[in-house]
Structure 1
Amino acid sequence: MATSDDEGPLRGVRVADFTWVGAGPFLTKPLADHGAEVIKVESRTRTDVIRSMAPFAGGVPGVNRSGYFANRNSSKKSICLDLRHPVGRELALRLIAASDIVANNFTPGTMERLGLGYRAACAVRPDVIYLDMPMQGVSGPHRDFRGYGLSIAAAGGLLGLSGYPDRAPVGTGTNYPDHVPNPLHGAIAVLAALRQRRRTGRGQYIELAQLESTVNAIGPAILAAGVGIDVRRDGNFDEVAAPHGVYRCAGEDSWCAIAVVTDEQWRGLVRVLGHPDWARSTEMSTGDGRRSAAALLDKALGEAVRDWDARELADALAAAGVPAAPVNDAADLLHRDPQLAARRHWVTLRHPEMGDCVYDGIPYRLSTTPGRLRSPAPLLGADTRAVCTELLGLTGAEYDRLHEQEVIG
């Protein structure tokens, strides 16, 4: 393994990171934040797509100014190689030979065509841990289909469950598969493979089909469909909770989410609202009758809270033991959420081009090996010279010649 003086439980582990866009970089980020040396392989002619995605610092676009890219790539290094050039591919193989983990989320066959597939990696590093993250797997009739989080969410059933039965699916508001199941399932698989290699000395080939990973997020719906239950979009209706929804409060676009599961919570809700008359007569039934009753309850509750401040309502309900929260926007989370502020969730790092930037902190706390965001996201190719000359064996003169030929840089 590589040596490193950086703190973290993964110190000494090196990752050759060929991932791009959302899911792949978010997989390698926690490895980097916990001490692994993650070397992101990029190209100046085909940069990572999210380097060109808003929001940009100061509203000024640029490959080094994307907040989206920055938040996915803290603690990493960046090198630029032209993988279409024989020397670029040879340097990539040298990097693989010096790495413990290789990760990519390209369409099946891409790495093989570049001469960087699993067999080629094993030839230079027999105990390598190699992760493929194809959209739908490396086999099957849809193996060559391309897509991003939105299409994976559609194919994986998420969109079919989000929204109201008489309207089009509304989705999850973001490419949920890219941010939650796929990168985190991948990270756990890599950690399991590292543990196994420590015990046996053997590497692993990991195939993470992003469609199958996403399907895991709707397990209860799959189980219900498997026993013949009609699973459909149902808005905010819940079989267990009532009321269960998001209710408009005073002010522009101000809402409060409320969910009542127990009789005690119901009494707390009624008490906070001043024991309105409609609360005495509300009865819940089953099946479609339950849906009709829930709709009437939603209407009555919506009228009762319309003049409340959303935060004051949520605080009052929470104090009465009722699950409730204001619907925060991004600015609320960053500047007004007392819980995140108290726990110091937000981390500010000084980026060479964007200046001080806010990053998400590590969302879990390890008592002995907590990890940290060790550096801001790298500038494109910022570490190419150091990696090529100090790790991959190029002399300064060789580096300068290849840089001039735009093979590296």
Structure 2
Amino acid sequence: MNDLLEGLRILDLGRYTAGPYCAKLFVDAGADVIHVERPGAGDPARALPPLLDDGSAETVSAVYAFLNADKRSVTLDFTTPTGAEWLRELVRWADIVVENFAPGTLERHAFGLEEVLGVNPSVVWVSITNFGGSGPSRDLRGSSLTLQAAAALMDGNGDEDREPLRYPRHISEYWAGSNAAHAALIARRHARLTGEGQHVDVSIQESLVASYFMHFADYQYQGALQARGWLDLKPASDGPIIVNWHTAVPWDVFAIALEAEELILDPELQPPLSMTANAGRVADVISRSMRTRTRREWFARAKEHRVPAGMVQTLDEVAACEHLEARAHFGSLRLPGGAEGRAPGPPYALSEGATERMRVVPRLGEHNAVVFGELLGHSEGELQAAAAAGAI
């Protein structure tokens, strides 16, 4: 955690993953983030499994806890007159607004870009959608799976003679949320210099396409389509491990590290033939050798000889990873009932400005009185009337 963005004000209208993850990156850096949720039900992510016992009679979604710890939670129905007016007041307060509704949703409720900039001329309005706010696919429904398919990400994943494989669920939304936070800071810098707000239009499909340009470049400039298949994935005695040769590593050192001396003795199994015509034979030699040791034994040998290698770890192994533990990557979350959970911290480490703090997961609407009363200046009577009308 750090407080380097202290004073930056973020209004999070997001639901589920992409929008809340974008706002999470800000709160992790000390920004003040107000998360607007639906009265009664809240952000739908609150119902996503697994559900944790929070130390009281309630349960808390582990996904929601990870995405929304340290945010201030308010409930607001902006389809009601009072809710719409109070949302305008929150927009006036905010430096950056983040939302991931379907295109046109907020415009139908008079929260289009023109109306928003009329309320706050310097606000940065960030929209994260499946295919962006324009183009023929703008209004298509999508999921992480369909978006990976639409971006050709799946086409390069899996074995060459099998069907394409998806990446882990929701990774598309996390990538888009990260890109949105980056773009929002760029637009915020512009707003501070000029006083002009603007709309940041983030497409999940484009976030995926931009993430693997090396493969796209093969097609764009050479007409080559990427082939599926992990030629570097090898079977150790207790599971798969990835090893690959890099030109910085002498071929004989690579062969010795893998106890595959045949790669040295047979000229046809040495570069460049080992990388082209005889790549299959090389793979067979390495696979036979690697079945004789465990992943950790091979990883230790590869490390000793400075050969690129990586064990294909299971989630329980990642959770107990000594390297991540040494970097204090995992941190604690305090759930609303007082119990504690565990979740990854920010995916970076700063040399300055880092702080140690327990991340706190808010109850639904926990900060209504503080935000609507103290921050926006509404009376207790107004809050009671808004609650009775279903606006909060």
Give the CA RMSD over aligned residues: 2.6
The residue identity in structure 1 corresponding to 2:229 is G
Q: Deviations over 1:62-105 (max 9, x none)?
A: 98511112112222111111222111111111111111111111
In structure 2, distance between residues paired with 1:374 and 1:71: 12
1:242 aligns with none
Note if 1:190 corresponds to 2:184: yes
Moved more, 216-225 or 348-357: 348-357
| Equivalent residue for 1:378, pick from 352, 362, 369 | 362
1:70 aligns with 65
Aligned pair in 2 of structure 1 residues 131, 373: CA closer, same or farther (>3 Å)? farther
Note if 1:159 corresponds to 2:154: yes
Mapping for residues 102-251 of structure 1, pairs under 5 Å: 102-180=97-175, 182-237=176-231, 245-251=232-238
Aligned pair in 2 of structure 1 residues 141, 166: CA closer, same or farther (>3 Å)? same
Note if 1:256 corresponds to 2:250: no
| Equivalent residue for 2:52, pick from 57, 66, 70 | 57
Moved more, 44-53 or 127-136: 44-53
| Contact 2:334 2:361 survives alignment (8 Å) | no
| Contact 1:20 1:48 survives alignment (8 Å) | yes
The residue identity in structure 2 corresponding to 1:271 is I
Aligned pair in 2 of structure 1 residues 189, 263: CA closer, same or farther (>3 Å)? closer
The residue identity in structure 2 corresponding to 1:233 is A
1:39 aligns with 34
Q: Deviations over 1:30-86 (max 9, x none)?
A: 1111111111111135533322222222599x9851111211222211111122211
1:312 aligns with 297
The residue identity in structure 1 corresponding to 2:234 is Y
In structure 1, distance between residues paired with 2:347 and 2:367: 28
Aligned pair in 2 of structure 1 residues 393, 102: CA closer, same or farther (>3 Å)? same
In structure 1, distance between residues paired with 2:303 and 2:295: 12
Q: Secondary structure at the match of 1:38?
A: strand
In structure 2, distance between residues paired with 1:149 and 1:371: 34
In structure 1, distance between residues paired with 2:222 and 2:325: 46
| Contact 2:263 2:270 survives alignment (8 Å) | no
The residue identity in structure 1 corresponding to 2:243 is I
In structure 2, distance between residues paired with 1:228 and 1:128: 43
| Equivalent residue for 2:343, pick from 351, 359, 368 | 359
CA deviation after TM superposition for structure 1 residue 149, in Å: 2.1
Provide structure 2 residue ranges, at least 5 long, that are not aligned to the other structure: none
Aligned residues: 390
1:283 aligns with 269
CA deviation after TM superposition for structure 1 residue 356, in Å: 1.2
Aligned pair in 2 of structure 1 residues 144, 189: CA closer, same or farther (>3 Å)? same
In structure 2, distance between residues paired with 1:202 and 1:372: 35
Aligned pair in 2 of structure 1 residues 292, 171: CA closer, same or farther (>3 Å)? farther
1:343 aligns with 327
Aligned pair in 2 of structure 1 residues 59, 39: CA closer, same or farther (>3 Å)? closer
2:19 aligns with 24
Mapping for residues 269-280 of structure 1, pairs under 5 Å: 269-277=254-262, 279-280=264-265
Q: TM-score, normalised by structure 2?
A: 0.91
The residue identity in structure 1 corresponding to 2:278 is A
| Equivalent residue for 1:329, pick from 308, 314, 317 | 314
Moved more, 337-346 or 272-281: 272-281
Aligned pair in 2 of structure 1 residues 363, 263: CA closer, same or farther (>3 Å)? closer
Q: TM-score, normalised by structure 1?
A: 0.87
In structure 1, distance between residues paired with 2:93 and 2:177: 23
Percent identical: 27
Q: Secondary structure at the match of 1:110?
A: coil
| Contact 2:333 2:358 survives alignment (8 Å) | no
Q: Secondary structure at the match of 2:331?
A: strand
Aligned pair in 2 of structure 1 residues 404, 338: CA closer, same or farther (>3 Å)? same
Aligned pair in 2 of structure 1 residues 280, 13: CA closer, same or farther (>3 Å)? same
1:400 aligns with 384
Provide structure 1 residue ranges, at least 5 long, that are not aligned to the other structure: 1-5, 238-244
CA deviation after TM superposition for structure 1 residue 17, in Å: 0.6
| Contact 1:163 1:233 survives alignment (8 Å) | no
| Contact 1:55 1:68 survives alignment (8 Å) | yes
Moved more, 90-99 or 271-280: 271-280
CA deviation after TM superposition for structure 1 residue 385, in Å: 2.1
2:285 aligns with 300
Q: Secondary structure at the match of 1:173?
A: coil
In structure 1, distance between residues paired with 2:184 and 2:133: 18
Aligned pair in 2 of structure 1 residues 121, 291: CA closer, same or farther (>3 Å)? same
